[in-house]
A and B are shown apart, each in its own frame.
Chain A
Amino acid sequence: MNTELVGIAGIYLLTLVLALPLGSYLANVFRGDKNLLDFLAPVERGIFRLAGIDERREMSWQQHMVALLTINGVWFLLAILILCTQGSLPFNPDGNSSMSPDLAFNTAISFLVNCNLQHYSGESGLSYFSQLAVITFLQFVSAATGIAAAVIVFNALQTRTTEKLGNFYNYFVKSLTRLLLPGSIVVALILAFNGAPMTMQGKQALVTLQGDSVQVSRGPVAAMVAIKELGTNGGGFFGTNSAHPLENPNYLTNATENIALTIIPIAMIFALGFYLKRKRLSYMIFGVMTVGFLALLAPAVYYEMHGNPAISQLGVNQSLGAMEGKEVRFGAAASAYWSITNTIISCGSVNSMHDSFMPLSGLTQMLGMMTNAFYGGCGVGLLNFFAYLIIAVFIAGLMVGRTPEFLGKKIEAREMKIAILVTLLHPLLILAGTALAAHTYTGNPAEYAGWLANPGFHGLSEMLYEFTSSAANNGSGFEGLGDNTPFWNIGTGIVLLLARFLPIIGPVAIAGLLARKKYIPEGAGTLHADTATFGVMVLAVIFIIAALAFFPALALGPIAEHFSLY
């Protein structure tokens, strides 16, 4: 049991050790300073020339957003076109059929917005062509979109007054060539050498040792899984994601994948400090996020390692913990650690089934997505945190009776309105969506009997989890939910779109507005944003806005279930 705890501590520490130098490297890449992969510059120039882009043209924040939204629109149309016709396209050795329009709509949006909610199973729902040209492709570009958006904010927070915030395509392409592609190559090769398949051949038919005939699904798994984790996407090649033994064959691959999905969000925090030459600001942000992370991690690990009391009552030995929905090669601790890192970070891949976790572990998973700012997804985690930060600066400013300032720029009504709208949008989408689903279900339980796999409190948790996961662009699920229906495909599809682009546009707009303002040098009355005191303030804001808004819904779901069990 103790070696399991040592295992997760080791995974976390190794992540930090790797993230710090990566942060410094990323700051160099995005400042345009000398760095390790400068030999790729001719490749990048080639890409820009082929695309007809002048990567040195500086853009205002609005121009950035138009460029970002336009190219995202192109990807959406491309994805939906391929998914609806994949049955007649090449590289489909298993003969899987084309998607229905509502499922294709949901899937295209879901991968476009880096969420990767999956209302299909990879083995039967996608051709290899779709796995590469839609899924793998979108996993690369959606992660790069998030990182590029964060870099716009980095640029805007410098101590100067300007409209010009660099070039979107430059940030976006460099996120791919300098970070996501090289990183994925390393991760994919580790996976391939540990037994994850990388083949274009279809299912293999074989007769098992005791004489059963089976078909074994495989495919270009290693390449796809690498970017799935590194880009905090989370959508699995197979139906059961990283619980599947070909997608995550052993403890080493589990650690590799878990580090891959955590490293960029943490490195981006340090990159901010290196970029702005304000390392203490990075430490404050990292500290707040880590406190939040550990507070959610501890209960999940505790409850999973102690097992299900209802199973203990049967009189059996539960020394490995709650093993329903978990794999023996990972064990309870590494499964709980994985589930929390994947929910605070909007990755949403799973190596165990969240639906079968103990109620309070499920609650901490949901809280991770409800706050959505502890490390967070590639780039967008920092953007969410930035909105909380602005609110905290404003409230702190009011408390001490000074004009709220952040990094030498005044925070005024317009910025505050945007920050508040962005942070309140999240609970609105989740709670309104869940209320609508619960209302629809209770109106006609017989017709919607296929929705819920579990009765009672847990059934409500399944619906709450699905909308939380959509609004957080997370993509994991309480997979008992029968979600491939028009209600869920279209409902969550709309939530996904709103919850992706408004929280990108909002923080970038705030940063763009701040960049235009006059820089006020620090004085005796300046509120310092890089202190522990201010860190506590931000944590309180996150707790009040994110956690308390959801408390009533959580009380009806996981909390009620907890007290019926313990």
Chain B
Amino acid sequence: MKNNLLPAFRLTLVLLVLCAVVYPALIWAGAQLAPNQGQGVTVSQNGRVVGYANEGQKFDRPEYFNGRPSAVDYNAAGSAGSNKGPTNPEYLALVQQRLDTLLLQNPGVTKSQVPAELITASGSGLDPHLSPQAATIQVDRIAKARNLDAATVQGLVAQYTENGLLGPDRVNVLRLNLALDALAPAGR
């Protein structure tokens, strides 16, 4: 034991420098060449940073495409899923309630058109995406709120749909809403 203690201390110090200083510094230096110098990809509107491209944010106004439910209400200083089990009665009642609200806010949409991801919470609470179907059922509501042609709004959804070569097809909600604002500024 004694023969090992001193080498163990000295090796720990050397490796601490290697793994916790040199290595992160190397990656940091490399990241200076990455998009936005490794500070995360931000998105701006009229020169003002309005969010991170990869990180979901809260949209609950009728004139925007609304994202998925979030267990942390899109608080980006934290993150969490709901951690509700599949048979939890309270949880199932909450999903039912979200469905009822959704149908009320989007008249003309039937239950069978509602994709489950729009009424279930994401893993991170910061999911930036919707499925194209989850965006499509919101088109009529948004067109009405912004005095736009429904076909134009649907065109935007199609334009912003990223074809998942391997994963599911998806739409980035923030980018889609930015495009929507560019087309017809929200009245606020």
Contact = CB atoms under 8 A, between A and B. Distances in A.
Given A195-B53, A322-B86, A327 B127 contact: yes
A528 interface: no
A78 B49 CA distance: 40
B86 A320 contact: no
A550 B138 CA distance: 47
A210 B122 contact: no
Nearest to B35: A195
A317 B116 contact: yes
A558 to B, nearest CB: 10
Interface string A334-361: 1100000000000000111101111100
B28 A223 contact: yes
A318 to B, nearest CB: 4
A4 B12 CA distance: 44
A173 B10 CA distance: 13
A351 B78 contact: no
A124 B9 CA distance: 30
B34 A51 contact: no
Contacts of A141: 15, 19
Interface stretch (A105-113, A132-140, A498-506): A132-140
A328 B114 contact: no
A201 B39 CA distance: 8
A455 interface: yes
A324 B170 contact: no
Given A67-B4, A124-B78, A245-B55, A315 B116 contact: no
Nearest to A481: B83
Contacts of A351: 123
A311 B87 CA distance: 10
B8 A70 contact: yes
Interface string A196-234: 111111011011111110111110101110110000000
B82 A10 contact: no
Interface in B43-61: 45, 48-61
B88 A197 contact: no
Interface in A1-42: 3-4, 6-7, 10
Contacts of A220: 24, 27-28
Interface in A511-566: 561, 564-565
B145 interface: no
A487 interface: no
A331 B11 contact: no
B142 interface: no
A385 interface: no
Given A314-B95, A316-B112, A325-B82, 13 more contacts: A185-B27, A192-B30, A193-B33, A198-B30, A223-B27, A251-B166, A316-B111, A323-B122, A325-B83, A325-B120, A328-B168, A331-B168, A565-B86
19 contacts: A51-B14, A71-B4, A74-B12, A132-B24, A185-B26, A195-B40, A199-B38, A207-B48, A209-B50, A209-B59, A209-B181, A226-B27, A227-B19, A243-B79, A243-B122, A255-B166, A317-B114, A324-B86, A328-B68
Interface of B: 1, 4-12, 14-16, 18-21, 23-24, 26-28, 30-31, 33-35, 37-41, 45, 48-61, 64, 68, 74-89, 91-92, 95-96, 99, 111-117, 119-131, 133, 164-168, 170, 174, 177-178, 181, 188
